[in-house]
Amino acid sequence: MKKKKQVPEWMNSSLWSTPSDPPASVSVREEPPTIPTNQNASPPLSSSSSVSSPTATADDISRHAQAQVQLLAELSRKVIDMRELRRVVASQGISDAGALRPTLWKLLLGYLPPDRSLWSSELAKKRSQYKNFKDDLLTNPSEITRRMYNSNSAALGIDDAKSHTQTRLLLSRSRITHQDHPLSLVKTSIWNQFFQDTEIIDQIDRDVNRTHPDIHFFSGDSLFAKSNQEALKTILIVFAKLNSGIRYFQGMNEVLAPLFYVFKNDPDEENEAFAEADTFFCFVELLSRFQDNFCQQLDNSIVGIRSTITRLSQLLKEHDEELWRHLEVTTKVNPQFYAFRWIILLLTQEFNFADILHIWDVILSDPEGPQETLLRICCAMLILVRRRLLAGDFTSNLKMLQSYPSTNISHLLQVADKLHVQSV
């Protein structure tokens, strides 16, 4: 007879579940912090990870300070040791002040090369490339047609004055091809593509306007908030046009928001000015590491989102078979009911904004890749509330997992790290 696997004692420790835990049917969530609206504002402090927290020990403060010294030392090297940098960030995180986070995230995402001497030229090249993307992809078809006509006129030797006059009076019908006509149904028609894009652009506009409505950086009537919204919309539109296989899916704005916030709050004025371009390329890098989850054609494959959710289920079964059995066998809580959003949106809807930044520090820094780290954190989220889940039924458990209760992020990441150690 197979011996039942025992639950590790540390999973039942009071460290992970406070005595004052509310009933499973009650949704508890901290209010996200109000973020300053000036360009040079630092990322918000997380009450769960701040060294100034009343519960922080002297050892915590000492380790935190030591980590910042190590990060500065690594960043000052001519050629940065990425393995060591990842180790320090993964183990200690980044200062709550966040001044180093913009540079660290760019390094961790591969946007900046380890060789510091290449930074200036690489940034200039990428920022120029992004400007060209916007010039090419965000131009109205009327303007494209006008440019094509001017180019053809020049090639045929038509004098500038005549060309200018005809352009000013709009193009004559005889010079507009069927493919370039606004009513053309030809798939390669620039107008046909323009009208197809309009639906996606409208969806992007609606989603961006709903991004973190309680944070002034993203929402409100201020010129600063409006400018940030326009930047988010532009990035998503350019991305959708360049990536026909993915295009845009609802919620992409939530994944984009932390990146843009961090880079827009870079203390370096030049970097802050080019936050939109830097965010675009880092967004591409981030999604490329989770691309199989976003490709609809792979949904039922061994690498698509359903497969990823299955891996989360297997991970829970491996580390806590009792909880896995209660959720999936006894109460029939299919992980797709809650984990789909956790994974696709990289936990951006489950925690307050300050905690998201702290979680992403860990996700981006893992040398094994962000996907595995994300799954361990999701598994840790289940283990952290295991007592309440074991006591709950289908309705209460699903309600809690779809509106995850506020928790100590440092403890959550410690549990995720323990899962990693146990798997090695």
Closest to 277 (Cα-Cα) out of 135, 139, 126: 126
Residue at 157 is within a domain: no
What is the predicted pLDDT for the residue at 298?
Answer: 44
Residue at 268 is within a domain: yes
Closest to 203 (Cα-Cα) out of 256, 235, 248: 248
How much of the chain exceeds pLDDT 90, in percent?
54
| CA dihedral sign of residues 108, 113, 117, 119 | negative
Q: Please report how many Cα atoms fall inside a 13 Å half-sphere around the Cα of residue 410, on the Cβ side.
A: 16
Q: What's the whole-number mean pLDDT along residues 225-254? A: 93
Residue at 31 is within a domain: no
User: Looking at the structure, do residues 253 and 327 belong to the same domain, yes or no?
Assistant: no
Using the 8-state DSSP alphabet, how is residue 326 labeled? I
Closest to 372 (Cα-Cα) out of 311, 299, 331: 311
**Ramachandran area for residue 279 (φ above 0: left; ψ -120 to 50: alpha; else beta):** alpha
Q: What CATH number has the domain bearing residue 387?
A: 1.10.472.80
φ/ψ of residue 39, rounded to 5:
-60, -30
Last residue of a domain, one of 264, 289, 314: 289
Indicate the pLDDT class of residue 382, thresholds 50, 70 and 90: very high
Indicate the pLDDT class of residue 35, thresholds 50, 70 and 90: very low
User: Looking at the structure, do residues 372 and 396 belong to the same domain, yes or no?
Assistant: yes
Does 53 have pLDDT greater than 60? no
User: Looking at the structure, do residues 389 and 303 belong to the same domain, yes or no?
Assistant: yes
User: Looking at the structure, do residues 416 and 383 belong to the same domain, yes or no?
Assistant: yes
User: Looking at the structure, do residues 205 and 282 belong to the same domain, yes or no?
Assistant: yes
User: Looking at the structure, do residues 302 and 212 belong to the same domain, yes or no?
Assistant: no
Last residue of a domain, one of 231, 256, 289: 289
Residue at 165 is within a domain: no
User: Looking at the structure, do residues 116 and 253 belong to the same domain, yes or no?
Assistant: yes
102-154: pLDDT as tens digits: 999 999 999 999 999 999 999 999 999 999 999 999 876 555 455 555 555 55
Question: What distance in Å separates the CA atoms of residue 130 and residue 234, rounded to the nearest whole number?
Answer: 11
Does 99 have pLDDT greater than 70? yes
Residue at 53 is within a domain: no
DSSP character string of 35-69: PP-STTPPPPPPTTT-TTSTT--HHHHHHHHHHHH
Residue at 317 is within a domain: yes
Does 190 have pLDDT greater than 70? no
Instruction: List, in sequence order, the alpha helices (H) in 78-159.
Output: 82-92, 101-108, 119-137, 141-156
User: Looking at the structure, do residues 337 and 257 belong to the same domain, yes or no?
Assistant: no
Tokens of residue 276, six digits: 């939109």
Q: How many domains does the chain have?
A: 3
Last residue of a domain, one of 236, 262, 289: 289
Residue at 204 is within a domain: yes
User: Looking at the structure, do residues 314 and 235 belong to the same domain, yes or no?
Assistant: no
Question: What distance in Å separates the CA atoms of residue 237 and residue 338, rounded to the nearest whole number?
Answer: 28
User: Looking at the structure, do residues 104 and 247 belong to the same domain, yes or no?
Assistant: yes
Residue at 124 is within a domain: yes
Q: What's the whole-number mean pLDDT along residues 256-268? A: 97
User: Looking at the structure, do residues 261 and 276 belong to the same domain, yes or no?
Assistant: yes
Q: What's the whole-number mean pLDDT along residues 268-296? A: 88
**Is the distance from CB of 362 to CB of 90 less than 8 angstroms?**
yes
Average pLDDT score, the chain? 79
Q: What's the whole-number mean pLDDT along residues 313-331? A: 96
User: Looking at the structure, do residues 355 and 228 belong to the same domain, yes or no?
Assistant: no
Q: Whole domain around residue 225: which residue ranges?
A: 99-142+186-289
Does 350 have pLDDT greater than 90? yes
Q: What's the whole-number mean pLDDT along residues 63-85? A: 87
